[in-house]
Amino acid sequence: ISIIASGSIAGILQGTFVILRKKLSFLTDGIGNIAIASCELLGFLTISFLAIFAPISVMIIVIRAGLSI
């Protein structure tokens, strides 16, 4: 279920960015695409970082909590 949900969310986000880029490109004559691309990259890097390090952090916290009991 999580694979389907994450794929759906990724598809929705990508579709939203495509529409936003198209409209912003029309309104700013292409200059606004830099801002959208930068925000998109920052957001996806943040999500990727959290996907890797959040489970590791939780595992460390659970192990330490188990050792201190």
The model's pTM is: 0.56
pLDDT < 50 positions in the chain: none
Distance CA 21, CA 24 (A): 5
Q: What's the Cα-to-Cα distance from 23 to each of 7, 17, 27, 28, 66, rounded to whole Å?
A: 24, 10, 6, 9, 53
Q: Which amino acid is at 22?
A: K
User: What local confidence, expressed as pLDDT, does residue 25 receive?
Assistant: 82
Distance CA 10, CA 59 (A): 26
User: What local confidence, expressed as pLDDT, does residue 39 receive?
Assistant: 84
Q: Which two tokens stand for residue 12?
A: 């929705």
Contact 24, 33 (CB under 8 A): yes
